Amino acid sequence: MKKRPSLSIVIPFLNEEAVLPLLRERLGNTAGFPEDWSLILVSDGSTDGSVEYVESWMREQPRVKLLELSRNFGHQAAVTAGLAFADGEYVAVMDADLQDSPDTLIEMYEIGKSGFDVVYAVREAREGSLFRRLCYSVFYRIYGRLAETPVHLDSGDFCLMSRKATDCLNSLPETVRFVRGLRSWIGLKTTSVAVRRPDRAAGESKYGFWKLMRLAAAGLTSFSTRPLRLAMALGFGLCLSAIGLGLFYLIKALIFDLHTAAPGFATLVVLLLFLNGTVMLLLGILGEYLAQIFLEVKRRPTYVVDRFVDLETESEDRSEG
Ligand code: UDP
Ligand code: MG
What is the SS3 assignment for 118?
strand
Among 86-95, 143-152, 312-321, which range has the highest average pLDDT?
Answer: 86-95
Q: What backbone phi and psi angles, to 5 degrees, belong to 292?
A: -65, -45
CA 206 to centroid of ligand 1, rounded, Å = 5
pLDDT of residue 276: 78
Mean pLDDT over residues 90-114, rounded?
Answer: 94
In angstroms, rounded to a whole number, what is the distance separating the alpha carbons of residues 181 and 222? 9
Per DSSP, what are the bridge partners of residue 65?
40
Is 205 close to ligand 1, i.e. is its CB under 6 Å away? Answer: yes
Half-sphere exposure of 113 (CA within 13 A, CB side): 12
**Which atom of ligand 1 is nearest to 13's Cα?**
11
Say if CB 37 and CB 7 are below 8 A apart.
Answer: yes
Distant-in-sequence contacts of 193-196, Cβ < 8 A, 24+ apart: 193/104, 193/107, 193/108, 193/111, 193/119, 193/120, 193/121, 193/122, 194/121, 194/122, 194/124, 195/100, 195/101, 195/104, 195/121, 195/122, 195/123, 195/124, 195/158, 196/123, 196/124, 196/125, 196/126, 196/127
Average pLDDT for the chain? 86
Say if CB 133 and CB 126 are below 8 A apart.
Answer: yes
| 21-30, 99-108, 127-136, 168-177, range with the lowest pLDDT | 127-136
**Which atom of ligand 1 is nearest to 72's Cα?**
8
**Higher-confidence position of 271 and 160:** 160
**Higher-confidence position of 264 and 292:** 292
**Which atom of ligand 1 is nearest to 42's Cα?**
7
pLDDT surpasses 80 at 1: no
| 61-65, 111-115, 123-127, 303-307, range with the lowest pLDDT | 123-127
Q: What backbone phi and psi angles, to 5 degrees, belong to 259?
A: -110, 30
Half-sphere exposure of 56 (CA within 13 A, CB side): 8
Pairing mode of beta strands 90-93, 190-197: unpaired
**Higher-confidence position of 319 and 56:** 56
Q: Which ligand is nearest to the CA of 17?
A: 1
In angstroms, rounded to a whole number, what is the distance separating the alpha carbons of residues 48 and 84? 25
What amino acid is encoded at 14 in this protein? L
Is 14 close to ligand 1, i.e. is its CB under 6 Å away? Answer: yes
Is 20 close to ligand 1, i.e. is its CB under 6 Å away? Answer: no
Q: What backbone phi and psi angles, to 5 degrees, belong to 128?
A: 115, 180
For the entire predicted model, the pTM comes to 0.78
pLDDT of residue 265: 65
**Higher-confidence position of 263 and 241:** 241
What is the SS3 assignment for 11?
strand
In angstroms, rounded to a whole number, what is the distance separating the alpha carbons of residues 76 and 222? 14
pLDDT tens digits, residue range 162-221? Answer: 999 999 999 999 988 889 889 999 989 999 999 888 878 788 888 777 888 888 888 888
Mean pLDDT over residues 81-90, rounded?
Answer: 95
Q: What percent of the chain has pLDDT over 90?
A: 43
CA 82 to centroid of ligand 1, rounded, Å = 14
pLDDT of residue 261: 57
pLDDT tens digits, residue range 30-58? Answer: 888 898 999 999 999 999 999 999 999 99
In angstroms, rounded to a whole number, what is the distance separating the alpha carbons of residues 305 and 318? 7
| 191-205, 269-283, 303-317, range with the lowest pLDDT | 269-283
What is the spatial order of strands in the sheet that 305-310 belongs to? 190-197, 118-126, 155-162, 90-93, 7-13, 38-43, 64-69, 305-310, 315-317
pLDDT of residue 260: 60
pLDDT of residue 146: 81
pLDDT of residue 225: 78
pLDDT tens digits, residue range 216-246? Answer: 888 888 888 778 777 777 877 887 887 787 8
Q: What backbone phi and psi angles, to 5 degrees, belong to 123?
A: -85, 110
| 101-115, 125-139, 294-308, range with the lowest pLDDT | 125-139
Say if CB 93 and CB 179 are below 8 A apart.
Answer: yes
**Higher-confidence position of 271 and 167:** 167
Mean pLDDT over residues 284-298, rounded?
Answer: 84
pLDDT surpasses 80 at 319: no
**Higher-confidence position of 75 and 201:** 75
